[in-house]
Amino acid sequence: MKFTIYQESRPGKRPNNEDRLAHCYSRDALMMVIADGMGGHYYGEIAAQIAVQCLTESFQREANPKIHDPFSFLNRAMLNAHSAILDFTEAHKLDDSPRTTCVACIIQDSIAYWAHAGDSRLYVIRGGKVLTRTRDHSRVQLLIDQGVISEAQAAFHPDRNKVYSCLGGRQEPEIELSRKTPLEAGDVVALCTDGLWGLYPDDLLATALRRENLMKIVPDLLDQADARSGPNADNLSIVAVRWEDSYVEPGSGASSAIHTRTMPLGAITTKLDEFGRNPKYKTELTEDEIERAIQEIRSTIQKFSK
């Protein structure tokens, strides 16, 4: 595999950053995941952290060096994350379960597979245009589908942040699986939370991400989002990959591209921030509270490691 990847999360104008994101890859498979936590105190952050860690640790166990059945893997890992969040809720006797959106994608053999619950999005961009994207599991998306409101009206609708599917919560999540999507050299796959995509129409986001230098494009995009957002702007998070192989024909390289051909069969590279350790994930917790939360997350996830 050959690709260029960049991930970053910013708090926006919020006092806390409840988004979590990660990517990891073996010699023959890449996974990206992003989660947007919801819940009182710091529990939204924990729900998002549990979701991202469940997926990355499952990938670390099962990418040998490919995932045998990507759709089954994504569905099972998300359901395990959902159960782990409920277990955390029960263990702490919380009145309401923390929740998180989640979107995750696996790419192997130059084919993308993804799954999502909620309104964090995945885009596949080809030639500066959106080839496909996820459909939000949100109240405003249902109103758009019914013709009650337009896409433009949805951006300002009072229910725009209400989702009907997520990990955590008392209802079983609706996990929507994609079709197998062959990628071509130069395609961009981007996962982002609503704090970012809510500021950019699809065509503007696609145009921005078509430029070659992904390592400069994405920080610039976040800078612009920070500048144009309002005083209560949400957290801003994105994982974006420019695929340099092709399902149809060989692709061309890039100076910042990652080559996995020489990786050992059992090797996995992961980029995932530990809970409370990245200053961009603002938190008012003390060091002792962070350490306790890390241990609680770890013990919770271990119960659902399958």
For 165-216, how does the pLDDT look when each residue is reduced to its tens digit (9 = 90+)? 999 988 899 999 999 999 999 999 999 999 999 899 899 999 999 887 899 9
Q: Which residues contact 247 (CB under 8 A, 6 or more apart)?
A: 109, 110, 111, 182, 183, 184
pLDDT band at 3 (very low <50, low <70, confident <90, very high): very high
Has residue 305 got a pLDDT over 70? yes
Cα–Cα distance between 261 and 267 in angstroms, integer? 11
pLDDT band at 10 (very low <50, low <70, confident <90, very high): very high
Domain count, the chain: 1
**Tell me, what DSSP letter sits at residue 250?**
-
Cα–Cα distance between 239 and 123 in angstroms, integer? 11
Q: Nearest Cα to 88, choosing from 26, 16, 39, 27?
A: 39
Q: What number is the average pLDDT over the span 80-91?
A: 94
In this predicted model, which residue has the larger pLDDT, 139 or 121?
121
Has residue 275 got a pLDDT over 50? yes
Count how many Cα atoms sit within 13 Å of the Cα of residue 50 in the half-sphere of its side chain.
38
Cα–Cα distance between 121 and 225 in angstroms, integer? 16
* Burial of residue 164 (number of CB atoms within 10 Å: 0-12, 13-18, 19+): middle
Cα–Cα distance between 187 and 16 in angstroms, integer? 33
Q: Assign residue 53 the CATH number of its domain.
A: 3.60.40.10
Q: Nearest Cα to 96, choosing from 147, 171, 156?
A: 171
The verdict on pTM exceeding 0.85 is yes
The pLDDT value recorded for residue 8 is: 96
Has residue 45 got a pLDDT over 90? yes
pLDDT band at 147 (very low <50, low <70, confident <90, very high): confident
β-bridge mates for residue 100, sequence order: 37, 167
In this predicted model, which residue has the larger pLDDT, 43 or 178?
178
Most confident of 12-16, 42-46, 72-76: 72-76
pLDDT band at 106 (very low <50, low <70, confident <90, very high): very high
Has residue 223 got a pLDDT over 80? yes
Q: Which residues contact 219 (CB under 8 A, 6 or more apart)?
A: 6, 8
Q: What number is the average pLDDT over the span 146-165?
A: 75
Most confident of 25-34, 86-95, 252-261: 25-34
Which residues constitute the domain of residue 90?
2-302
